[in-house]
Structure 1
Amino acid sequence: MVTHVRAEAQGDERGALLSFLAEQRGGIRRSVLGLTDEQASSRPSASELSLAGLVKHVAEVEQSWVARAKGEEPAVHREASNWHECFALVDGETLASQLDYWEKVAAETEAFARSVPSLDDSFPLPKAPWFPEESVSVRWVLLHLIRETARHAGHADIIREALDGKTAFELVALAEKS
């Protein structure tokens, strides 16, 4: 898991964007190291967020944005009344299954980002009250995914520390031993 994006590892702009996204994914992945499904699903604060729910959410969000950029439908469609299901394990889902799914999504994201002729290629934003009627580029999608994943990596740091006191630095050391 990437813990620091080295300048020479970035390569071109695509490589840099994908490296920074991988770095943020690593922060969330490390936050669940050594946890059971029960621990990862617990909510140790006033928030409704859990680590397992964050893993599931970022995987679904990444898949949906890349699908839209490809001109495809996202894999998961939720009614507004069921939005909370993207933040919790349901119907036999496990932390391991969500991590595996996210790994596949990440590989698809990388393959797509490397395959488009230009990061300036664009597609329309989905129709939603919170989006303007405009098109965005593949570059925008990658930057959006970095921002989204980084935001939730911060949440994951706080949740993990609330669960057992382990900080991000301790989890980096733990990951290096694994």
Structure 2
Amino acid sequence: MVTHVPAEAHGDERGALLSFLAEQRGGIRRAVLGLTDEQAASRPSASELSLAGLVKHVAEVEQGWVARARGEAPAVTRDETNWAECFRLVDGESLAGQLAYWERVAAETEAFVRSVPSLDDTFALPDQPWFPPEGRVSVRWLVLHLIRETARHAGHADIIRESLDGRTAFELVALEQGTSGG
């Protein structure tokens, strides 16, 4: 871990959960610091993943889960014909645009989590074969799931960035903070 979330700074469970989610978002955001759209869209490792694609994916996933918890449809739906588009920029999309979209999604997530009467409130899981039939989860589960999903992709982002130009997560934290790194 390259950053620290102080426990005393947030005071309550919602604040702590949202702070840990913000920390993981920061790992992905730092991974694209100083990159062009072309660099961010490149795939320098054995994986098909790119940094721009990861930014787009985590923003879409977060928005979709929060929409589901609100009882709404996600802003973007994917099926077997276009699912891979959530992992790459397509015509008219830019890294800056995806980062701005993700910032709006993050603000909506925070507002939603802070507005629900209880983290124990539940909503239905998607009707997909990998979820239990008629399954329900809590808002707490939602935030923990988003932390897990974002953290997993923050690790991917670390590897992709280091493959691009050798910069490590520690160096990127220093770059973001304006201190010397590495």
Q: Is the 8 A contact 1:67 1:73 kept in 2?
A: yes
Identify the residue that residue 147 of structure 1 maps to in structure 2: 148
> By how many angstroms is 1:82 displaced?
1.1
Identify the residue that residue 169 of structure 2 maps to in structure 1: 168
Q: CA RMSD in A?
A: 1.2
Q: Is the 8 A contact 1:119 1:137 kept in 2?
A: yes
Query: TM-score, normalized by length of structure 1?
Result: 0.97
Matched pairs, number:
177
Identify the residue that residue 116 of structure 1 maps to in structure 2: 116
1:24-56 CA-to-partner distances (Å, cap 9, x unmatched) read 000000000000000000000111000000000
> Structure 1: how far apart are the matches of 2:102 and 2:77?
17
In structure 2, list runs of 5 or more residues that go unmatched: none
In structure 1, list runs of 5 or more residues that go unmatched: none
Identify the residue that residue 93 of structure 1 maps to in structure 2: 93
Q: Is the 8 A contact 1:3 1:26 kept in 2?
A: no
Provide the secondary structure at the position in 1 that maps to 2:82.
Answer: helix
> Structure 2: how far apart are the matches of 1:167 and 1:25?
16
Query: TM-score, normalized by length of structure 2?
Result: 0.95
Identify the residue that residue 43 of structure 1 maps to in structure 2: 43
Q: Which protein is richer in helix relative to its size? A: 1
> Structure 1: how far apart are the matches of 2:46 and 2:166?
17
> Structure 1: how far apart are the matches of 2:22 and 2:78?
27
